[in-house]
């Protein structure tokens, strides 16, 4: 017996010690605004959207650099086995008797006087130059490329705003899901109190012979049902919190038996926001065309059409003349002794053979531009429809919440009356337990409909900013 009792007490002591140690770690309170802030700082999608904005700005600076001269440093050196250039008398005067005779004379004198009758050079050489090329006209591609890059920065910023909005909506849904589960748990706690009171009354009545044993068993079954529901809700709350905390980048300890002196236990992290008095939807109405016109999606459609126009102009610029001026200066030792020299130059390039290809390309961009315009017209109407649907969802959620609120009032009255009837011996216990079950269902329905209205309203308000 000692061998059995000692390990059991050891396990119990360790469990209580670990829980007490975990409780020493301070808890944390989180509001919805704090969760939003943390999500916008730590969420992967938001961070990637911010990186896209930085990349678009870098691309704009890259396009702006096309306005400036292109400066390059060039160096070249060679060594040949034989001179690359040899010039004799016949090379200058041509093949003739005179040139051949003169070549023979120079050859004989060269052997006596010690000079080479044939001039040879370029056996080795070195050249190093610095050059700058300034484009003056490139068919409008530089100007249009910078305009296109500016649109890219604006589009990346709009995408970032959309990502932040979607992330906020997801965080809000996760937050209110936790709150809804906690409210349901409180509802079960209140019902548990009612059932516990009923159990004491029935137990006393049973002891006095005024109630049957079956009535007491029915109440006991109801108690166990509520306990099981509370266990499921407790587990659901933890899972919902894990989903929320992972989304906002908050560290937490999911295990009460594994202490951590720096990370709070998940049950010690409390969400502070609750549903306040909700106003009817008419308070927030705005014309759907006005709301749709201010959406980021609407501006992105305009940018898509403008981008196609600029791409068409850039394609046209490939068939236009290109004009540039430049200058170079450097060291040259190829034929003569090494010396410094410089030069200025101008360049005009007129493409002649690409007109047919450019004409086909222009036709392709015309079709793409027409397609973008058609998409803009269609999707603008879809945006209005989306805003209209959001408003209809708000109205439907509000009406459903009112119905659920009325159902709770009716269920509370039913429980109150049946409780009085039961204690007066005018109603069976089964009807009272059934009424309590209906009150539980009505209360949970009211919580869900209130959360649905809050989420639908916030989604609409996010698009009205």
pLDDT at site 352: 79
Average pLDDT over residues 190-199: 90
Residue 4 burial class via C-beta count within 10 angstroms: exposed 0-12, middle 13-18, buried 19 and up: exposed
> What percentage of residues in the chain have a pLDDT greater than 90?
54
pLDDT at site 354: 73
> What percentage of residues in the chain have a pLDDT greater than 70?
92
Greater pLDDT, 9 or 403: 403
Average pLDDT over residues 420-445: 89
Say if residues 257 and 19 touch (Cβ distance below 8 Å).
yes
Per residue in 210-233, pLDDT tens? 778 888 898 899 999 999 999 999
Beta-strand relationship, 28-30 and 269-271 = parallel
Per residue in 93-108, pLDDT tens? 777 777 777 777 777 7
Under the banding of pLDDT at 50, 70 and 90, the label for residue 12 is: very low
pLDDT surpasses 60 at 458: yes
Ranges 15-19, 199-203, 242-246: which has the least confidence: 15-19
Average pLDDT over residues 230-257: 92
**All domains in the chain, ordered by first residue:** 1-67+138-274 (1.20.1600.10), 85-121 (no CATH), 277-319+354-465 (1.20.1600.10)
Residue with tokens 């090329």: 133
User: How far is the CA of 285 from the CAs of 282, 339, 358, 385, 386, in angstroms?
Assistant: 5, 81, 51, 15, 15
Average pLDDT over residues 439-447: 93
Per residue in 354-402, pLDDT tens? 777 888 888 898 999 999 999 999 999 999 999 999 999 999 999 999 9
3-state percent helix, strand, coil for the chain, nearest multiple of 5 = 70, 15, 20
Ranges 9-13, 90-94, 286-290, 449-453: which has the least confidence: 9-13
pLDDT at site 320: 86
Say if residues 198 and 432 touch (Cβ distance below 8 Å).
yes
The per-residue pLDDT of the chain, averaged, comes to 86
Under the banding of pLDDT at 50, 70 and 90, the label for residue 111 is: low
Average pLDDT over residues 9-21: 42
Return the HEC string of 388-407. Answer: HHHHHHHHHHHHHHHHHHHH
Beta-strand relationship, 339-349 and 269-271 = unpaired
Give the integer Cα–Cα distance in Å for 411 and 432: 11
Give the integer Cα–Cα distance in Å for 209 and 114: 148
pLDDT at site 349: 86
Per residue in 71-99, pLDDT tens? 999 998 888 887 877 777 777 777 777 77
Per residue in 128-170, pLDDT tens? 999 999 988 888 889 999 999 999 999 999 999 999 999 999 9
pLDDT at site 114: 64
Residue 236: partners with Cβ closer than 8 Å, 6 or more residues away: 181
pLDDT at site 298: 93
pLDDT surpasses 70 at 455: yes
pLDDT at site 103: 74
Give the integer Cα–Cα distance in Å for 163 and 272: 26
Give the integer Cα–Cα distance in Å for 401 and 180: 14
Coil, helix or strand for 285?
coil
Ranges 71-75, 116-120, 247-251: which has the least confidence: 116-120
Partners of 342 in the β-ladder = 329
Give the integer Cα–Cα distance in Å for 162 and 299: 12
pLDDT surpasses 60 at 13: no
Average pLDDT over residues 243-269: 87
Give the integer Cα–Cα distance in Å for 26 and 21: 11
């Amino acid at each position: 017996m000692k061998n059995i009792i000692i390990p059991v007490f050891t396990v119990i002591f360790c469990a209580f010690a670990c829980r007490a140690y975990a409780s020493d770690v301070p808890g944390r309170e989180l509001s919805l605004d704090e969760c939003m802030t943390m999500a916008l700082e730590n969420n992967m999608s938001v961070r990637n959207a911010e990186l896209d904005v930085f990349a678009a700005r870098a691309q704009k600076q890259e396009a702006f650099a096309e306005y400036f001269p292109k400066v390059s440093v060039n160096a070249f050196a060679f060594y040949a086995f034989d001179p690359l250039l040899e010039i004799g008398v016949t090379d200058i005067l041509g093949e003739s008797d005179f040139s051949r005779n003169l070549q023979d004379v120079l050859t004989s004198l060269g052997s006596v006087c010690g000079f080479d009758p044939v001039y040879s050079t370029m056996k080795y050489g070195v050249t190093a130059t610095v050059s700058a090329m300034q484009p003056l006209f490139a068919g409008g591609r530089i100007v249009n490329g910078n305009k296109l890059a500016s649109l890219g920065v604006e589009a990346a910023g709009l995408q970032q705003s959309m990502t932040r909005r979607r992330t906020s909506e997801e965080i809000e849904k996760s937050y209110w899901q936790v709150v809804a589960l906690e409210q349901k748990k409180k509802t079960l706690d209140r019902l548990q109190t009612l059932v516990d009171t009923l159990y004491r009354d029935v137990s006393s009545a049973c002891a006095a012979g005024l109630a049957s044993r079956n009535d007491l068993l029915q109440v006991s079954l109801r108690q166990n049902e509520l306990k099981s529901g509370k266990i499921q809700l407790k587990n659901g709350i933890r899972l919902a919190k894990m989903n929320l905390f992972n989304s906002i980048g908050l560290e937490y300890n999911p295990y009460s038996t594994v202490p951590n002196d720096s990370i709070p236990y998940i049950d010690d992290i409390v969400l502070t926001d609750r549903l306040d008095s909700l106003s009817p939807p008419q308070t927030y109405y705005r014309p759907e065309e006005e709301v749709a016109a201010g959406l980021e999606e609407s501006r992105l459609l305009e940018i898509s059409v403008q981008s196609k126009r600029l791409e068409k102009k850039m394609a046209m610029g490939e068939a236009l003349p290109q004009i540039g001026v430049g200058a170079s200066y450097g060291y040259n030792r190829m034929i003569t002794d090494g010396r410094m020299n410089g030069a200025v130059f101008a360049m005009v390039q007129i493409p002649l053979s690409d007109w047919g290809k450019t004409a086909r390309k222009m036709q392709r961009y015309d079709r793409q531009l027409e397609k973008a315009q058609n998409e803009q017209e269609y999707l603008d109407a879809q945006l209005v429809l989306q805003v209209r649907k959001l408003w209809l969802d708000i109205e439907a959620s509000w009406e459903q919440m009112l119905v659920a609120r009325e159902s709770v009032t009716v269920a509370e009255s039913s429980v109150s009356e049946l409780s009085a009837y039961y204690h007066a011996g005018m109603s069976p216990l089964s009807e009272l337990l059934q009424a309590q079950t209906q009150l539980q269902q009505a209360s949970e329905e009211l919580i869900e409909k209130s959360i649905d209205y809050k989420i639908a309203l916030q989604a609409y308000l996010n698009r009205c900013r």
